[in-house]
Structure 1
Amino acid sequence: MAAVSSTSESGDPGGRHPPERRLLLLGGPQAGKTSSANTILGDEVFQAGTETTHSNVGQTEIYGRRVTVVDTPQWAIPGDPEDDEDDPSAADENANAVAETDGPARPPPSLDSEGPCMGAILCPPGPHAILLVVSVAQPFVESQRRAAEEQLGALGGGTWRYSMVLFTGVDKLVKGTFVEEHIANTGEALQWLVERCGSRYHAFDNTMKDADDNTQVPELMEKVEEMITDNQGWYFEVNELILLEEEQARRALEEERMRMEEHARQREQMIGGPPRELRLLLLGWKGVGKSSVGNSILGRRDFESGQETELCLRRQALVSGRRVTVVDTPGWDWFSVRRTPKRIRQESQRGAALLRPGPHTLLLVLPVVSSLTARKRRTLLAHMETLFGERACLHTMVLFSCGDWLGRTPIEEHIQRGGRELHRLLEYCGNYYHVLDSKTPGKDSRSISDLLDKIEEMVRENGDDAFLPIQSEWLSEESSQSSDNTEPEDDCRGCQLQ
């Protein structure tokens, strides 16, 4: 931001265009910005009583001078429990504020609400005065002070030279009480704000704007002229770079909101009553971190990691609105199917049988720190096809474990460096893959949610073959030795993805 001289705005020599003054109104919830803007404009230009989500501009002429007024969305009040600790009466004051204001409390600003820069750009090349609207009917505590400071900070440096406090609702003051007494009695936060504005303030009673003897607007404009004179005729110029950054941040929030809404809509289409179920079977070599991955997915330590898994173990939890059932299995040999004991191969099949009528996804766990040779890849695929058949590839996803080893390296770059054998493995899996930091269960819920989204995408792609059906020979081998306390017939009760 920069302060720029406005002496050239005193009007053109021909007098065809009157000189202009530009006012930017900022304030918190129910401060009375919109009503004050209408009072200055002398008409109901803006719709009062509803939340302002986008900046609006209006113009009028006062004593031969064109006045531009910009109303802006309310600023957000940051929540801080320390406020209540520092000021025990803060909670009571906030409760009283709701009772004293007109109408119900409004919700916080929506994600697509604009910031102060967007309002400033509507009065180019910049406002002569920034009016900080504060209602005397609400307590002005530390959180409001911080909000005001953050809003002006977003505009850039030097804003306080152009700022003035505009008090509203003075008709609600106790009869005989002046604004000066209100400032002195309200507390340090309000006193700080007024002092920061160079002790410039004005008071509005928006209920008397239609009165014939109403002088509050002309008096406000006189104070604005005094401030402009003190600033040597300068106005506050908007820095387009800061505006661009704010607009990009706003758009990012809006895109995220739309993405979440679309995600929720897709979920609603798939939900048919009880929480839907995803059935996941963890597979892979010995020591690749299958148990840790299972704990990360479920968000808790249900599987014993750090030691060799001997028997299949099934656990279940609600994760991101879904019922997720995970079965951990013993590990395979790295180099040969024959070297994997028959008991381990049968346990893998029994693990699938614990997910009857079948697993939606076979998660092939592969550490990002391990290199994949041609022999290792052939061994993995031989295990998959020997144990689960040729169509297992339609339900298999590579799940990279130990993702924290990547640091800031994207998983796509790691795959690119992984060589031909890794690419061939991913092609076998239909290029379905995901990466997890499996050290701390529940650490990265966003990554787990993304994994479940990919699994549901795979389910939709598979259509009628949404899961890998278990085979009769797997059931004949099913043993009570499997470490699980859940009856098999209960496995998919309420499943909506079958």
Structure 2
Amino acid sequence: MAAVSSASDTGDPRGRHPPERRLLILGGPQSGKTSTANSILGDEVFDIGTETTHSNVGQTEIYGRRVTVVDTPPWVIPRVPEVIPEAHGEGDDDDDANDANDTNANEANDANETNDANANDTNDANANDDDAGAESDNPTRPQPTLDSEGPCMGAILCPPGPHAILLLVSVTQPFTDTERRAAEEQLAALGGGTWRYSMVVFTGVDKLTKGVFIEEHIANTGEALQWLVERCGSRYHAFDNTRKDTEDNTQVPELMEKVEEMITDNQGWYFEVNELILLEEEQARRALEEESMRMEEHARQRDQMIGGPPRELRLLLLGWKGVGKSSVGNSILGRRYFESGQETELCLRRQALVSGRRITIVDTPGWDWFSVRRTPKRIRQESQRGAALLRPGPHTLLLVLPVVSSLTARKRRTLLAHIETLFGDSACLHTMVLFSCGDWLGRTPIEEHILRGGRELQRLLEFCGNYYHVLDSKIPGKDRSVSALLDKMEEMIRENGDKAFLPIQTEWLSEESSYSSDNTEPEDDCRGCQLQ
């Protein structure tokens, strides 16, 4: 983008058309853009009763000069995350916090009373102007939606480009570094060289304390506002939209005089708009908004799947015979729900509240260590029935693996064959390896144990998306890592997006599973497995 001179700026030499001035109005939420645009145009051209979602253009004639005014949607001011102070456990800190809250509450009440009193003095048009921040001390900060367009698109409505870019700032709203960055980013989106065509317009000046001039307000507000004014070449104007119908209203002519001075300083040039670049930037902006909305929707769906408070997690314990699945279930639930030390014959479901979550666990009979064929059909069906007990499906298939056992290629293929043939190809998305007997590691980190375990153990973890955890199941309810385990499960659920759990299959509910005869069972070496 570049600034260029145009013959139309000085008007047609034959006098057929009055010279034109094009004004682009930008500002944050409730900054008074729409009211100011109407004041300049001298009529209620733009609707002040609804939120501005698309740029609008209006024209008028001032002292024989055609003036084009473009009103734009508010630019988005990012929300500042609330900082929650750490609790120190000291009574003095709590008292100070309470005193601060009381003080803030009183100040807020005083501000509300002041606003109520001031609101009675403003005209109805300003009271209804959702974009007039001069009438609100607590502006809402709307987030971008797919129904709205970016403010920069308004520059296309005043071709070939605006002579002046008016940045509106309400004196009733705080102007911090957050607002400053929003203004800077907006002008940067238009292109380089925009500041020389920019002017700050202060709205709501009737709300200033009696005897306080706008210069004093600029000095007292802070460095962010001072930076903005200086960046605009110290060009600014104070606007009172409540005076637009009075006979002595000279603020519009004074504003246009300042615009003319700026145009003279720019040697009659205007800011040339590159429509192609603006359209590309608008497409990129909308793509980002769509992605943000999609992620928010996925987060909402995940929250619904996990459940409301308390959150719900459904776990299915799987693994070989004798690996400590029942002990693991007891450790997670915090008490002895499952009988450990003896072979599990039938699935058993138990539930408890753990770390603010409702945890449902199903313990299952163990598989054969070396062969799917040698795992009895009844045991395989029982594993599927265990998953069916976790309606609408388990969030996590917890594959229990003792840290004291070595993993050979045949053992790994057998484990994967059990998981894939019983629960389908998508089971890997929901499988996590849980290393039991974690006390055997001593001071050895689990990562070091994995490296020592060799390639077969690493391939197993790769099948599970490298989701794993180590647990000491000797002392139920005393292992602090249980909460960390649940956090990892929720992380896996978030990664799975709209596939937060493994859906129950109809065949799992039937008495007869897919293993109708021994001849259809997979081979020991799992030649048909696609995860070699």
TM-score bin (small chain): 0.5 to 0.7
- The one of 389, 393, 396 equivalent to 1:360 is 393
| Alpha-carbon distance in structure 1 between the residues aligned to 2:432 and 2:4 | 56
Q: Does structure 2 conserve the Cα–Cα contact (< 8 Å) formed by 1:18 and 1:65?
A: yes
Match for residue 203 of structure 1 among 230, 238, 242: 238
Kindly provide the amino acid, as one letter, of the partner of residue 217 in structure 2.
H
The equivalences for 1:19-168 within 5 A come to 19-80=19-80, 100=115, 102=135, 105-112=138-145, 113-168=148-203
8 Å contact kept, 1:357–1:469: no
Q: Which residue in the other structure is 2:254 paired with?
A: 219
Cα separation, partners in 2 of 1:236 and 1:213, compared to 1, 3 Å:
same
Whole-Å separation in 2 of the counterparts to 1:149 and 1:179: 22
Distance in structure 2 (CA, Å) of the matches to 1:357 and 1:83? 39
The 1:67–1:223 alpha-carbon spacing in structure 2 relative to 1, beyond 3 Å, is same
Q: Is the 8 A contact 2:24 2:166 kept in 1?
A: yes
2:427 aligns with 397
Displacement, 1:243? 4.3
Equivalences for residues 322-471 of structure 1 within 5 A: 325=360, 327=362, 332=367, 336-337=371-372, 346=379, 349=382, 352-353=385-386, 356=389, 360=393, 397-399=427-429, 437=467, 442=487, 448-449=493-494, 451=496, 453-454=498-499, 458=503, 465=506, 468-469=508-509
Aligned residue number for residue 454 of structure 2: none
Residue in 2 aligned with 1:173? 208
Asked whether 1:281 is paired with 2:281, we answer no
State the alpha-carbon separation in 2 of the partners of residues 58 and 317 from structure 1: 65
Aligned-residue RMSD, C-alpha = 5.4
Matched residues in 1 for 2:319 and 2:368: separation?
A: 9
Q: 2:441 matched to which residue of 1?
A: none
Aligned-partner Cα distance in 2 for 1:278–1:63: 72
The 8 Å contact of residues 436 and 447 in structure 1, kept in 2 or not, is answered as no
Q: Displacement of 1:127 after TM fit? A: 1.7
CA contact (8 A) 2:298 2:497 kept: no
Deviation at 1:182, TM superposition (A): 2.3
**Partner of residue 412, structure 1:** none
Q: Is the 8 A contact 2:395 2:502 kept in 1?
A: no
Structure 2: distance between partners of 1:444 and 1:382: 21
Match of 2:217, SS state, is helix
Q: Is the 8 A contact 1:399 1:436 kept in 2?
A: no
Q: Which runs of 5+ in 1 are unaligned?
A: 304-309, 367-372, 404-432, 474-498
**Aligned CA distance change for structure 1 residues 71 and 263 (closer, same or farther; 3 Å):** same
Aligned to 2:290: 254
Q: Secondary structure at the match of 1:130?
A: strand
1:230 aligns with 2:265: yes
SS in 1 for 2:253: helix
2:31 maps to amino acid: A
Q: Residue type of the partner of 2:30?
A: Q
Deviations 1:113-167 (A, max 9, x none): 4333222222223221111111222333333333322322333332221111111
Cα-to-partner distance string for 1:376-399 (whole Å, 9 max, x where unaligned): 8798557776xx6xxx65x96342
8 A contact 1:363–1:397 mirrored in 2:
no
Query: How many pairs were matched up?
Result: 412
* Cα distance in 1 between the residues matched to 2:76 and 2:30: 12
Q: Distance in 2 between matches of 1:59 and 1:8?
A: 16
Q: Given that residues 302 and 498 in structure 2 are in contact (C-alpha distance below 8 angstroms), is that contact kept between their aligned partners in structure 1?
A: no
Q: CA deviation at 1:48?
A: 1.9
Give the secondary-structure state (helix, strand or coil) at the position aligned to 1:121: helix
Tell me, in whole angstroms, the C-alpha distance in 2 between the residues paired with 1:318 and 1:163: 60
Task: Please tell me whether the aligned partners of residues 204 and 216 of structure 1 are also in contact (alpha carbons under 8 angstroms).
Answer: yes
Moved more, 130-139 or 98-107: 98-107
Corresponding residue for residue 186 of structure 1 = 221
Q: Confirm or deny: 8 A CA contact 1:56 1:70 kept in the other structure.
A: yes
Q: 1 CA distance for matches of 2:38 and 2:372? A: 80
Letter in 1 for 2:508: L
| Per-residue Cα deviation, 1:13-33 (whole angstroms, up to 9, x for no partner) | 454433222212122232211
The answer (yes or no) to whether the contact 1:132–1:165 under 8 Å persists in 2 is yes
Match of 1:413 in 2: none
Deviation at 1:234, TM superposition (A): 1.9
Relative distance call for 1:158 and 1:210 in structure 2 (3 A) is same
Say which SS state the counterpart of residue 131 (structure 1) adopts. Answer: strand
Residues 129 and 446 (structure 1), Cα distance of their counterparts in 2 relative to 1, 3 Å cut: farther
Contact between 1:136 and 1:172, CA under 8 Å: does it hold in 2?
yes
